[in-house]
Structure 1
Amino acid sequence: MIVRDAGGTWQVVLQPEHAELSEEVARAWADRGPRHGSVVLAARRHDDGWATWERSPMVDGDGKPLSFLDVHVPAHLAFYRAGIAAITDEDPYAGLLVSMHGAGIYRQRYGSDPSLGLTRAPEAQTLVDAFVEEQEAGFPQRMEVSGVDDELRLADYHRLQWFDRFSLAFCLRDWDAPGDGFELGAFRLEPVAPWTARVSPWPFAEPELECSLVRRSVPKRAWRQDEFREAFFGLPVERVTIRFAE
């Protein structure tokens, strides 16, 4: 779950719902390689593993919905492996990109996002290192099966990271009113109206883009684990319209 403090409530976006927005960004992206269909699939499915955990979402010791950055790392490694395997069955190249994404979570997107890190990763550093080494050791065979070279897979990996980061920018920030602009790597996003961002340089093929985000608003209180699990999926689901503008 991606959890944002929204004042009187917590905004919660499930990982597959965040990935739906990543897919919409991917489909609209102007800079495309020859295997863009696989990259779009990777954007849609890059967080599939989380769906297992999110069938029974948890709260922390204070009764707050547990954010994805704070999940127990051994569980994360296990379900992410399963997600990579499932995606590989559908599209080996998408599987390679999601394998790179999974390893990159623990390597700050291979240096492109120094702020990224799972809170509890140091507690399981040996397991984390083994997971990263396992995924990286499989890259050459995955490349051979997919028929791609280093140049393409690295370019598509970094495209996938942009799709993920653009989506997370709307999951993790307040967009209910215009606000200060901020840097997102090589891009600048400026909230110019509710749920509307001016983007520069403009990365999309069309002069404007409309997407959507599914979210839930969780009343802010100290939840018990059993009652939160029971109540969460009964909460109203809201689909917010997101607009990108030059």
Structure 2
Amino acid sequence: MIRRDCTFDDAPAWAIIPQVAHARLAGRLAEMLDVGRFPLLATPQLRPVLLDAVRRHDDGWAPWDPYLQVDPQSGAPRQFTEMLPGELRPIWLRSIVGVGTTNPLGGHIVARHFAALLGHHLASLPEASSERKRGELFAGRLDPLAAAYLAEWQETSPRLAGEAELPDHCLRFLQAMDYLSLWLCCHERPEPLDLEIDGTATRFTSPEPGHVVADPWPARQSSWACEARGQVMPAGQYRCNGELAAARSRPVTLSWRFTPQ
């Protein structure tokens, strides 16, 4: 889940956004893009496959999201960047298989998405560390899984499979939508974001909370709105998971309005 600073009854608080909700937001953002400007979305056979992968790429978090886990050092609920590697691996694997079972190309790009995240993490670890060795073993599972999903997709979609670079473009699209959604969810007033979406460079700025300006304008409509649902709870130093579960909280909907420059 994502933990975002906010206020609750005029006191410091956290907005808690499930990873699944973040991924659904990423899918909604992708749906709003102008098919005339983004070639990947203009292909009828590819568009639903790609949107499905973006929308469901974090479904493996579904069993985990409802149960907040306290960080014993900070007393805060642990967010996705603070998870232990041994906790992330089964979550990622569930996400990959969940998509790939019905969407082989989606399973391929989701597997590569998590393989890239894993690679960044492994590069920060000492070569001889036990955690790096465990991570490398897991990477050894992801590569053949991604290859198997790719082969399945190539067999069932021979016309699209003839475009050798298409899976790479789809991966970058997923990564861009993931990043844009995280940019929205993680901070109330984020710094400007320069993002390349399907070969088009776009700058996103937030002049005020909940308002996003995009330049050049990437959508079909003249403006659009989107949201993510979660909960808000008082910030504090919680001592155990039970205290987190018992904390006074209420549902919250984070919303954004996108407009042109």
Q: TM-score range by the shorter chain?
A: 0.7 to 0.9
Post-superposition CA distance 1:150-202 (Å, at most 9, x none): 41111111111111111101111123xxx863434643221133301111233
- 1:37 match: 48
Q: SS at the partner of 2:204? A: strand
Q: 2:173 aligns with which of 127, 146, 159?
A: 159
Q: Which is worse superposed, 201-210 or 35-44?
A: 201-210
The whole-number CA distance in structure 1 between the counterparts of 2:135 and 2:62 is 20
In 1, are the aligned partners of 2:228 and 2:253 still within 8 Å (CA)? Answer: yes
Q: Pick the aligned partner of 1:84 from 93, 96, 104.
A: 96
| 1:102-113 → structure 2 map (5 Å cutoff) | 102-108=114-120
User: 1:215 aligned to 2:230?
Assistant: yes
Amino acid at match of 2:176: W
Calculate the TM-score normalised by the size of structure 1. Answer: 0.84
Percent identity for Structure 1 against Structure 2: 24
Q: What secondary structure, in the 3-state scheme, does the structure 2 residue paired with 1:21 have? A: helix
Contact 2:3 2:15 in 1 (8 A): yes
**Is 1:243 paired with 2:254?**
no
> 1:1-246 alignment to 2 at 5 Å?
1-6=1-6, 8-30=12-34, 31-33=38-40, 34=43, 35-61=46-72, 62-108=74-120, 124-147=131-154, 148=161, 149-175=163-189, 181-184=192-195, 186-231=201-246, 235-246=249-260
Partner AA of 1:128 in structure 2: G
Which structure: larger Rg? 2
Q: Determine if contact 2:107/2:146 at 8 Å carries over to the other structure.
A: no
Report the number of matched residues: 233
Out of 67-76 and 143-152, give the one that drifted further: 143-152
Aligned 8 A contact 1:213 1:242 in 2: no
Rate the CA distance shift 1:184–1:223 in 2: closer, same or farther, 3 A.
Answer: farther
C-alpha spacing 1:67/1:152, structure 2 compared with 1 (3 Å): same
| Mean Cα deviation higher: 198-207 or 65-74 | 198-207
Q: Deviations over 1:191-231 (max 9, x none)?
A: 13330111123332333221112132220111132324523
Q: Is there any run of 5+ residues in structure 2 with no aligned partner, and where?
A: 155-160
Find the residue that maps to 2:214 and give its secondary structure: strand
Contact preservation (8 Å) 1:121, 1:128: no
3-state DSSP of counterpart to 2:217: coil
Give the SS at the match of 1:54. Answer: coil
* Ranges of 4+ aligned residues in structure 1 off by more than 4 Å: 120-123
Deviation per residue, 1:40-59 (Å, 9 max, x gap): 11111111111222232201
Query: If the length of structure 2 is used for normalisation, what is the TM-score?
Result: 0.80
Contact 1:3–1:11, Cα closer than 8 Å, also in 2: yes
Structure 1 distance, partners of 2:182, 2:28, is 13
